[in-house]
A = this chain, B = another copy of it.
């Protein structure tokens, strides 16, 4: 029977591994790629998607187009049984687990994020890991411009027009540059926004940005970004975030509705569940890219810790998590799996970086190529050409080229294809003093206090006096919407810093209608407050 090689993940590592395996084995092996999406994402172009210079469809290729002869399975990996040599996955709508057997397994699942040391960041920051993240960021920026154009509240306008990117690596620098360019080019359609009201900033914990690049290039990048009106804050960390503010390690409180976090790499839950020992959050492999203690398990890309020499210990002794390296690692893994199957000797992975590239927006970039430092338009031009050449498939290349050309001609489209609504059930952080809602606001949800406390102000309609009620952990408010209330009668503020669980109006009413225990809980509760809940199962007004 043909050797079965299963590759987990369809990014740079996984996709190129499958292609290299296919070339080596031809039809002599069954090669399968399992990926949650049916497309390969060209990660380096995500900032361009966020900035709208290319459309999302052009930053990706369908895996089926680029993996001819490889079985592509769109599925979510649940677990791996290394003993039985079986991967368990869930496919699409199906809740029944499916088992996929393998002879050799390649793990190329990439990295996730962990913001747990910065309360509120997970809930309130946007990420830049996936295509959806990039699209969401673009829609979010347009939402802020639309809102700033119509609001009459100065605080709201300031928050909407302050954009904060956290992390000064490649992703953060390219994202902040693209964001600023998009905003600058869009402002003429928003006559009520004065350019001086827009604030775009980059926050980096280290004393410099673009740590992987030579210092003169980083200096050039800083100057370029600052000249284009981007503030750069070095030696600055994030302490916490709320739905409308960012608190830095200096204690500065920034009113901002847009926090883009490009920091905090961590192993994905599925990698953690595999039970392999992790080092620095990654799967350690030997120099042949094989996972210690497993003859037939391999790992590469961002999820693997790959030594570049014997006795590696320093950060620079290991392969960096870049596309450039992943593509080379893929070739080595394919060769080594082929050698292992044929009983030949495995070879160690060896590769020296050819350089690094970063785009800064506004047709400028920085590049180091074979030791030469290049800045400005030439660097940007190299950047575009290099990535255009790397895009898989001639069709995609032509489309991206055409779109880049069209982008230089006219205004960028401001179409906000989807307004990404907040999830119906979510955690929200507030700082002491923040208003949660005002009397007269739309009744949009039901709130439960998780930690901290809030205070509710309610004017007595007869005496005109204001009654104050403090609600602490476990308490809740906003439940009057079960009566069909559409506007708030009270004002609620955070008394201390707090975390609340919010359930949207519609979901709250569905649950109250459908789950009688939930509804019945509110009856005595409301009665104690002098409100009689309509009786029976039927007449709970919406």
Contact = CB atoms under 8 A, between A and B. Distances in A.
A92 B143 contact: yes
Interface in A117-166: 131-132, 135, 142-143, 146-147, 149-153, 156
A55 interface: yes
A414 B38 contact: yes
Interface string A485-504: 00100000000000001010
Interface in A496-541: 501, 503, 507, 510-511, 514-518, 521, 537
Contact of A257 (B39, B73, B93, B414): B93
A516 B91 contact: no
Contacts of A147: 74, 91-94
B146 A413 contact: no
A212 interface: no
B39 A448 contact: no
A411 B65 CA distance: 9
B92 A440 contact: no
Nearest to A514: B501
A71 B417 CA distance: 20
A410 interface: yes
A484 interface: no
A212 to B, nearest CB: 30
Interface stretch (A274-282, A379-387, A418-426): A418-426
A441 B95 contact: yes
Nearest to A188: B64
A501 B511 contact: yes
B94 A416 contact: no
A437 interface: yes
Nearest to A403: B399
Nearest to A442: B95
A293 interface: no
A39 to B, nearest CB: 4
A438 B96 contact: yes
Given A448-B514, A501-B511, A56 B417 contact: yes
A27 B257 CA distance: 34
Given A74-B146, A414-B65, A417-B131, A57 B55 contact: yes
Contact of A189 (B65, B95, B413): B65
A16 to B, nearest CB: 19
Contacts of A423: 424
A97 interface: yes
A264 interface: no
Given A55-B57, A96-B441, A511-B425, A150 B74 contact: yes
A73 B149 CA distance: 8
Contacts of A142: 38
A94 to B, nearest CB: 7
Contacts of A378: none
Interface centre among A65, A96, A424, A444 (most CB of B within 10 A): A96
Given A150-B75, A448-B514, A516-B474, A413 B57 contact: yes
Interface of A: 37-39, 55-57, 60-62, 64-65, 72-75, 78, 90-98, 131-132, 135, 142-143, 146-147, 149-153, 156, 189-190, 257, 395, 398-399, 402, 406, 410-411, 413-419, 423-425, 427, 437-438, 440-442, 444, 448, 450, 474, 476, 487, 501, 503, 507, 510-511, 514-518, 521, 537
21 contacts: A39-B416, A55-B55, A56-B417, A57-B413, A57-B415, A60-B417, A62-B415, A64-B189, A64-B190, A73-B150, A74-B149, A91-B147, A94-B156, A95-B441, A96-B440, A97-B440, A402-B402, A427-B514, A474-B537, A501-B510, A518-B521
